Amino acid sequence: MTTQVRRPGATGDDEGATGLPALADFALDPEVRHLNHGSFGAVPRPVLDRLAALRAEMEGNPDAWWRTLTGRIAAARADIAAFLRTAPDSLALVANASAGASAVLASLRLPRGARVLTTDHTYGAVAMGLRRIAALHGAVVDTLHVPLDASARDIEALFAQELSAGAPVALVVVDQITSPTARLLPLPGIVAAAHAAGARVLVDGAHAPGLLADPLGHASGADYWTGNLHKWTCAPRGTAALVAADDVAQDLVPLVNSWGAPEPYPHRFDQQGTQDVTGWLAAPASLAFLAERGGWEAARARMDRTVTAAQALLAEALDADLSGVRVNEALSMRLIPLSPVLATDPERAAALQRRIAAELRCEVSVTSWDGRGFLRLSAHVYNRPEEYEYLAERLPALLATAEREAR
Ligand SMILES: Cc1ncc(COP(=O)(O)O)c(C=O)c1O
């Protein structure tokens, strides 16, 4: 079955007026509905062109290329730091948020028996790394259950209570925007409570750049923050930032031991063996592209409008009750609860996601959290209401079949 999504060159509702990019500005296959920007992002064509030009230069003369890198990486770092409203010397470039979190965890000297606190919304791979590092130190990971519909005040109270009970907490690891549940966590209150209890805070802001106007302002006071440029800011993959407070920054070293090691932070992260840094160097082009094509505020407003309408539409189509999920956190990812028998664990969620992709040619995220399954919809500037309408017309039948099979 083919789709109604716009073909390259076609004009649409208001992008002519706003200048916001459309699907044709991305290399995405127009035969597929890409409703899962949150997982892997998408790179605009001009940024791919910039990346290709950088790759061609590198391949043309590798020796000359490597001689130029120090200054070019510093310039990219400065542009990315300006976008994130921080000082270039507080920001190291890393390959992804996982690498940022790993560098922080590897730098810690946790006393034996120390507590590390996180939540049950924490990104699975980061939580896994946290447990491994804690075990190496003989530390204990406590996982706070945060109900899906908890208010900001409830969440702050849960943290305050946990931080004051039992052995002192050395580190709090908290997501800024949660992956399985698309919640914006109340970082100012969490950071304040953690610091009052003497704990350091690592904020996993993987989704925050581009979705929040000022991610570091929202995470203000956190000791460490990491976030991806290759998600909502549409940079080439392998582009992420690590930002550290002055008093801990010099403890951070990249996970790859290399020639930059004797340099101070963040310069020592610039060289991690022979690696392809063309993504880092092209990242400022993606920041400029969205800024010039309608601007970030307009982009966020468009994404919010699109995903809000999509969530309501899919909830109606699936007869889903939204009363237990937050619908108004102005993020471009939204949940729709699925039948209680579907996606009850991550493997079943992944299988259902694959089935939707294969049968409907719709890329969505199916998440599983606390034994429940959710459809997690994303919207970026290139998404249009017709794509969610297409999904809403077909998904109920697919899910009804999957539900019969699961019972
Ligand atoms: C909250 C969170 N943390 C970390 C990651 C990992 O990002 P990456 O694979 O780019 O390291 C993700 C990816 O979706 C995420 O949602």
* pLDDT at site 68: 96
> What percent of the chain shows pLDDT beyond 70?
95
* Whether residue 228 has its Cβ less than 6 Å from ligand 1: yes
* pLDDT at site 168: 93
Query: How many Å lie between the centroid of ligand 1 and the Cα of residue 124?
Result: 9
Query: How many Å lie between the centroid of ligand 1 and the Cα of residue 235?
Result: 14
* Whether residue 204 has its Cβ less than 6 Å from ligand 1: yes
Per-residue confidence at 5, pLDDT binned at 50, 70, 90?
very low
* pLDDT at site 17: 58
Phi, psi for 132 (deg, rounded to 5): -65, -45
As a whole number of angstroms, the distance between CA 31 and CA 390 comes to: 12
* pLDDT at site 1: 35
> What percent of the chain shows pLDDT beyond 90?
93
- Could you identify the residue written with the tokens 């490597």? 66
* pLDDT at site 16: 53
Helix (H, G, I), strand (E, B) or coil at 225: strand
Structure tokens given for 279: 């993504």
Q: Is the pLDDT score of 43 beyond 70?
A: yes
Query: How many Å lie between the centroid of ligand 1 and the Cα of residue 217?
Result: 20
Q: Is the pLDDT score of 7 beyond 50?
A: no
Q: Where are the beta strands (DSSP E) in 303-384?
A: 333-337, 362-363, 365-369, 372-378
Closest CA to 205 of 298, 86, 107, 313: 86
* pLDDT at site 328: 67
pLDDT digits (tens, 9 = 90+) for 348-392: 999 999 999 999 999 999 999 999 999 999 999 999 999 999 999
pTM: 0.95
pLDDT digits (tens, 9 = 90+) for 321-340: 999 887 667 789 999 999 99
pLDDT digits (tens, 9 = 90+) for 258-270: 999 999 999 999 9
pLDDT digits (tens, 9 = 90+) for 247-258: 999 999 999 999
Omega before 111 cis (within 30°)? no
Residue of 120, 176, 228 with the most ligand 1 atoms within 8 Å of its CB, for mutation: 228
β-strand partners of 33: 362
Average pLDDT of the residues in 192-214: 97
Q: Is the pLDDT score of 294 beyond 50?
A: yes
Closest CA to 97 of 229, 187, 280: 229
DSSP 26: B
* Whether residue 96 has its Cβ less than 6 Å from ligand 1: yes
* pLDDT at site 230: 98
Distance of alpha carbon 83 from the chain centroid: 16
* pLDDT at site 96: 98
* pLDDT at site 8: 35
* Whether residue 232 has its Cβ less than 6 Å from ligand 1: no
Q: What is the mean pLDDT of the chain?
A: 94
Per-residue confidence at 237, pLDDT binned at 50, 70, 90?
very high
pLDDT digits (tens, 9 = 90+) for 122-164: 999 999 999 999 999 999 999 999 999 999 999 999 999 999 9
As a whole number of angstroms, the distance between CA 231 and CA 223 comes to: 23
Average pLDDT of the residues in 90-96: 98
